[in-house]
Structure 1
Amino acid sequence: MEPTLIGHWRLAGDAEDASGNGHHGQNWGADLQAPGLAGQANGAAAFDGRASCIVVPHRPSLQLGTDDFSLSVNVYSEEHVDDSIGDIAAKFDSQQRNGFNFGVKRHCAACNSLANQQNLQFGIDDGEIDPAWTDCGRPGNAVFVMSLVVHEGDLYAGTFETGAEETGRVFRYAGGAEWEDLGAPDAANAVMTLASFGGQLYAGTGRLKALGSSLPPSPNVHEGGRVFRREGRDWIDCGKLGGAKGDYAEYTHDTVHALEVFQGQLYGLPLYTQGLFRYDGHESWIDCGSHGSRAMTLGVFRDQLYVLENGNGVIRFEGGADWTRWTRVTELPGASQVYSMAVYEGRMVVGTWPEAAVFRWEKDGSWTNMGRLGDEL
């Protein structure tokens, strides 16, 4: 079958369909006078990343069914975007859960790694759930897979390995049930967090206290608390959070629990001690202060950096000249830890313990309890 052009939207001053098929778009707030690829006036559509879009009303000729189809689009995005970029093109019924989404994804803070950093993603669904999970294998001798991240088109995993002579390691997925061992950044028992930053892969190590997960304690007592960068086949030491001991720590920062990229800079936080730290190059980290208690993880939303508390709070990091200002956004009822964060349908949602409740931040500033996930804790 010869391919047939369904629609062609130049978005050069208007949202008309140039294919002759009459699939004209309706402009909902996009700037149709934006400069094009060559800088020409009225050459592109600019979207605000919040509400603007081009809507093409449904017609039978847009019902793709099970046929093959392709998309071609020129997209420009800023290098550093502190938010979820979202869909480029989508035709999806959220009630029936059928259709497709094509966009740029940024997934953070679920639970401790920057899992996707401006990754192109295509998804298609027909309202069905796969009947079973596909076993993708076990990286090394992992007791936990502590972190997963996509970097330069590959999937990476950081592990916790509990034996006295075992260490946390980084693996690259090789397909099927195979994982390529990229080694241990240091002697600690866990690689707790991973992030793609500046075109390179970063890993944070930790001395995980397995008792907190109802497991026997690990006989490996080597400190972690360091960040490493992958260069070729080597792990380059980028220093320890807080140095030997941070201002807010009862003892040394021995765990890097989360990494996040904000305003083009890399941030990290420990798990068992307080503090937020910004990477300053080589082996140096700048102490950004503490909001007053331990944190679980951090993530970005709507151009702001948020810290999720070992408590019931969501805290916004305000920065400022001294980089030590904080605003408590909410205190969530029934929560004693705020574990994870995601952006869903343009809103921040967070996961909590011990009730496994998910809360959504509404546009009016209130928080809605979306319910409990099964019988989870």
Structure 2
Amino acid sequence: MTQFQTDPAPSRATTGATLLEVEDLHVEFRQRSGVVSAVNGISYSLAEGETLAILGESGSGKSVSAQAIMGILDVPPAVVSGAIRFEGRDMLAMSAEDQRQVRGPGISMIFQDALSSLNPVYSVGWQIGEMFRVHQGASRKEAKRKAVELMDRVRIPAAAKRVDDYPHQFSGGMRQRVMIAMAIALDPRILIADEPTTALDVTVQAQVMDLLKDLQRETGMGLILITHDLGVVNEVADNVAVMYAGRIVERGTVDDVFTDAGHPYTEGLMNSVPQVEAKGGRLQPIVGQPPNLAAIPSGCPFHPRCARRRLGAEAAPGRECSIDVPPLRLVASGREAACHYSEEVLGVRAV
């Protein structure tokens, strides 16, 4: 397969305590037209100081899984099951008030679209300061002072002068910094960043990601990065979970997964990235479209798009791609993939 070509990644090691454990998480949206299975039994953990990237196409379940962790899905129509343990406490077993107390100082989130996520009729300082007024009972004066400090911390120039400005008066990159300031206001143990660099130019993307890395080094927080940007993942993440049709189909260190994918979907993602040395060459897109989550294909959900699928007599017993659902299993040292034929994709012996 074509390897993902980037500059060598920095040394990546995390030895912190486990902050988050997601176990067999399911999210369904039950509607009159049927059931949409957005998340289908994902499990992973996050350690202190670790950056976990959740990678996949739009509609793979990345953002919905994050919203379930935050406890911000409307229930109903959403039905959430499984376990989400923050520092050992199952958030799905908590009352709504207890979940609210965890949001902010425990787990915080940067949402995709900074412009639509900010209220246009309130100044950015008022919106940042709301975190302190609500959670700490700060006065308006004290909240504004802390808002200026946070704006300085996320490197917004002339923060004291701009604290009373409104969202439309900021560039896209500066609005994203405002969102980061709101998310880190209460020094969360975990920060979820949902497509934090979408719609930003390359230079601003790098600035935003450098800022998140610096904040992580300062605080030791765990970071969950939700994205479809392979370059960002390669630069900043320690580990990666690749999602397709609401499932994790591959999991491992970024270095291992990006060097040699163990699932045909991951392989397709890597091969679809433009290569500097292949100027003028054709990209290798993944054929077909992501599945309808209200009608996920039987067997391996990726099989209708997979060039490696085996059907009928060509499949091994119990491993027919259109019938048998492949479990997420160990396929190499420290590597898990949900493919009946991962060892062939990797070119290694079965574990």
Structure with bigger helix share is: 2
Structure with bigger strand share is: 1
Q: Does TM, scored on the shorter chain, surpass 0.5? A: no
After TM superposition, the score normalised by the length of structure 2 is 0.27
Larger relative CO (CA 8 A, sep 6+): 1 or 2? 2
After TM superposition, the score normalised by the length of structure 1 is 0.25
Larger Rg: 1
